[in-house]
Structure 1
Amino acid sequence: MPNEIESTPELGANQFKSARFNQELPTASTTTVRQKSTSEQQAHNVIVHPRLRPVPYKPQDIYSQAQPQPYVSMTHSNTTFYQVEDLPVNRRGFKYKLSRPSPVFQSNHYATTDLAPFEACISLFDRSTGVLFSRDCKTITTAQGWRSARANVGIRQGSYYFECKIVNANANADSANADSNANDSAHVRIGLAKREASLEAPVGYDGYGYGLRDIDGYLVFTSRRKNVCIEGGFTTGDVVGFLVELPSLKEQKLQLERYVEEKRSEMPADYRVKRRKTKKKTEAVEDNVRFNEYDNIVRDQIPTKSKGALYYDQFEYTRTKTMDHLLNPVTVFGEKAIIEMDDKTKNIPVIAGSKIRVFKNGKECTAIENLYAFLPTNIEDVDEINLEANVKQSSNPNYRNTDDNTLGYYPMLSVFGKGAVTLNAGPEFDFPPSDDATVKPLSDRYEEQVIEEWFWDILDEVEAQYLDSFDEIS
């Protein structure tokens, strides 16, 4: 059933050109077409909003495209590391992935594809530009301060296992002097993080990720040491395994529904009366609910071309005020900064039953439990109890609190001063997990993600063709 909110077919190409560039008044024939389209929309119970159809590709685009070529940047720890120019990286509220022409798609024209090596590895799009990578995109390093990269696959539900092999980390170095003595120290932090986590800082810097320090094995969250997960930390040659356990998406959504009802019951009695005055805001929240009611995935993908290669330009998830407050619980009044004592964590939903089990060289260590939720909750900004929508795209406020199928937890690796670490997504591991049949190697997640992308490409095309039909002239 078409989603009347997401559906955004275009005005006919000639109509758009006339109205946008020549500023001409609509002709009688154009008016007739629009009237016919409106009546058909009413008959089909669907609302069609104007959109710009993607620019058709050129015949030469169908053939192999020129891809940015990596070049050697440095060699250390018996590994050659590369850098690449002219490849867009995720930042400033936007993210990118490779696209390709699709002759079978008559409305959207393009489909999703990927870069080599076509397996679970470090994403060249989802990394700091200061991160250098091996040829197989599994090992990273940097010659700078803390820089991070996420894997190209995220975990949304189920149980998945992966390993991080420490290639170069000087766990005996003084971390307090690390920033000023980069040549004498090499450090690694590893863990998992959501889309909003900063790539210009180590994992665990903010409230969007959980990181482990090499020096002492402490769990780091919001730049604060919490508890020791790995006794003695880890150093060069160690292998740290992560077994991520998340409930099904269905169960996660049921948990969020209960959370929303609980928070709404805490709202002031006159809250609903006051909010009726802001009709636009209320409608936006209702739209969010309708977006997610049938597990809809909202992907705003704009095909662009750069240096001969085709990419999808998408909106990225960005930080929220509540999560920023966890990192810096200070309110500024003029020249005074006051530390707030109110516990903001009570207004952040968690995934009950979620867990990250940590292993060092095959031995299980302390687990990380009850991870913060990543799915949207459809909650308005409520100043009285400091609630806000937990999933936002600051560059695309009309589509806040929606899921584009990238929400989840991603393996995140952070390096400092020639620290180096390798991501092993399997299926072969140095220290395999137990024989539990429900545990999958992270490598399986890549194959699942490819199928998901293709499924949503097809669904988007079917919807676009259906809605484009309302503007066709019989």
Structure 2
Amino acid sequence: MYSHQSTRFHISILNLKFITSKMSVPLAGNVKGRQGKRRPAVGGAADAGAPLGKKGRGNELGALKLPSHGYPTEHPFNKDGYRYILAEPDPHAPFRQEFDESNEWSGKPIPGWLYRSLCPGGVLLALHDRAPQLKIAEDRLAVTGEKGYCMVRATHGVSRGTWYWEASVEEVPEGAAARLGWGRRYTNLQAPLGYDKFGYSWRSRKGTRFHESRGKHYSAGYGEGDTLGFLIILPDSSSTKYTPNTYKDRPLVKFKSHLYYEDKDNIQESLNNLKPLPGSRIYFFKNGECQGEAFTDIYQGCYYPSVSLHKNITVSVNFGPNFKHPPSSEFKYRPMSEKAEEAICEQTMADLLYLTENEGKLRLDNFNL
């Protein structure tokens, strides 16, 4: 049996690039952001693993096609303490063939370990991890606000290393504003970034920086035509996680013919466990000029590029690798675009660890199908 820490020194994440190179789903864009009312949360246990077709064959589920952008056009939104992670059949899961061929499991929940979370092949604005009223552009690299402050996160987050992304302000109607920066998965999507303890933002008006709803003077403001840069430095520590959560132990729920893992946020527990990360820093840039250190010793965790907008301002994003105003050579950063391939390797490692550590339990589950 292997632990996450022991595998740190014996198995390199990068060695998985070859075996995972065919696991990614390309994101070619060409999808319009959905407007309108927020959809209700997906059904609970009653909908979990709902069988498809006459006998509920797993291969029928595996045959479902995704749009060219790699994500269902109709999908559940993350909200109310729950997150929904799109799942796909895992062809390498143990007992996969026996399960697909079984006639005994009709009407029973599908074990989560037979599936895996679908890892996008590129870093874009998330369709599901956003306030539903935001309008996402067809290429998923621009967003327009509506009425009060609300937020969208990127598809990928980072928990260690130095990373950079850019945003350009395209249109700023009178009275509109933006707060841009970095936020964790627990940030409130129906609030401005920096409203709670999980986000750190830079406001267009007066250049104020925000965290926990407390604004402090930082720089001059920014507006239409400006390109902003966002750099985060997250040093390794003794408690740094080197693999993400596996979702194979989570329940599966069905929504519009696709399966999703349902994961509970446990926000209160996360608040109780917040710890500053010594040496961590956030810098903001305006048209290539570093505005200085905005935050230091931020809370440890996984941070996503985040955009929160007030009224119908439009902001485009650039996750790299080519930036309009790259930081100077003193910052040894990586573009957020590089996180996509790395995330596939890390998720594969997390899934392998789960299957290895729970082999005996999975074998018993298989006999009970």
Query: How far apart, CA to CA, are the structure 1 residues paired with 2:267 and 2:68?
Result: 27
Listed as ranges, the gaps of 5+ residues in structure 2 are 4-47, 96-112
Query: Which residue is equivalent to 1:234?
Result: 222
Q: Which amino acid aligns with 1:366?
A: G
Query: Which residue is equivalent to 1:189?
Result: 179
Query: How far apart, CA to CA, are the structure 2 residues paired with 1:155 and 1:213?
Result: 22
Mapping 1:322-337, distance limit 5 Å? none
Query: Which residue is equivalent to 2:155?
Result: 152
Mapping 1:430-445, distance limit 5 Å? 430-435=324-329, 438-445=332-339
SS of match in other structure, 1:126: strand
Query: How far apart, CA to CA, are the structure 2 residues paired with 1:471 and 1:424?
Result: 45
Query: Which residue is equivalent to 1:387?
Result: none
SS of match in other structure, 2:143: strand
Query: How far apart, CA to CA, are the structure 1 residues paired with 2:82 and 2:208?
Result: 32
Query: How far apart, CA to CA, are the structure 2 residues paired with 1:69 and 1:439?
Result: 28
- Residue 112 of structure 1 contacts residue 457 of structure 1 at CA under 8 Å; is this kept in 2? no
1:227 deviates by 2.3
Q: Which amino acid aligns with 2:157?
A: G
Deviations, residues 23-54 of structure 1 (Å, cap 9, x unaligned): xxxxxxxxxxxxxxxxxxxxxxxxxxxxxx97
Residues 348 and 90 of structure 1: is their aligned pair in 2 closer, same or farther, counting only changes over 3 Å?
A: closer
Residues 414 and 466 of structure 1: is their aligned pair in 2 closer, same or farther, counting only changes over 3 Å?
A: same
SS of match in other structure, 1:124: strand
Residues 167 and 252 of structure 1: is their aligned pair in 2 closer, same or farther, counting only changes over 3 Å?
A: farther
Q: Which amino acid aligns with 2:92?
A: V
Residue 105 in 1 paired to residue 108 in 2?
no
Choose the corresponding residue for 1:304, options 241, 253, 270.
253
**What percentage of residue pairs aligned between the two structures are identical?**
27
1:59 deviates by 1.9
Query: Which residue is equivalent to 2:278?
Result: 352
Mapping 1:59-458, distance limit 5 Å? 59-66=59-66, 86-106=74-94, 108-114=113-119, 118-170=121-173, 184-228=174-218, 230-231=219-220, 233-248=221-236, 251=237, 253=239, 297=245, 299=247, 300-319=249-268, 349-374=275-300, 407-435=301-329, 438-458=332-352
Residues 57 and 93 of structure 1: is their aligned pair in 2 closer, same or farther, counting only changes over 3 Å?
A: farther
Listed as ranges, the gaps of 5+ residues in structure 1 are 4-52, 71-83, 171-183, 255-291, 324-346, 375-406
Residues 420 and 369 of structure 1: is their aligned pair in 2 closer, same or farther, counting only changes over 3 Å?
A: same
Residues 454 and 203 of structure 1: is their aligned pair in 2 closer, same or farther, counting only changes over 3 Å?
A: same
- Residue 97 of structure 1 contacts residue 125 of structure 1 at CA under 8 Å; is this kept in 2? no
SS of match in other structure, 1:446: helix
Size of the aligned set, in residue pairs, is 299
SS of match in other structure, 1:412: strand
Question: Whose radius of gyration is greater, 1 or 2?
Answer: 1
Q: Which amino acid aligns with 1:190?
A: L
Structure with greater proportional helix content: 1
Q: TM-score scaled to structure 2, two decimals?
A: 0.72
Residues 298 and 114 of structure 1: is their aligned pair in 2 closer, same or farther, counting only changes over 3 Å?
A: closer
Query: How far apart, CA to CA, are the structure 2 residues paired with 1:99 and 1:371?
Result: 35
SS of match in other structure, 1:366: strand
Query: How far apart, CA to CA, are the structure 2 residues paired with 1:148 and 1:472?
Result: 42
1:373 deviates by 2.3
1:317 deviates by 4.1
Deviations, residues 370-411 of structure 1 (Å, cap 9, x unaligned): 24323xxxxxxxxxxxxxxxxxxxxxxxxxxxxxxxx41111
SS of match in other structure, 1:367: strand
Q: TM-score scaled to structure 1, two decimals?
A: 0.57
Query: Which residue is equivalent to 1:280?
Result: none
Query: How far apart, CA to CA, are the structure 2 residues paired with 1:296 and 1:128?
Result: 24
Query: How far apart, CA to CA, are the structure 2 residues paired with 1:125 and 1:114?
Result: 14
Query: How far apart, CA to CA, are the structure 2 residues paired with 1:417 and 1:309?
Result: 33
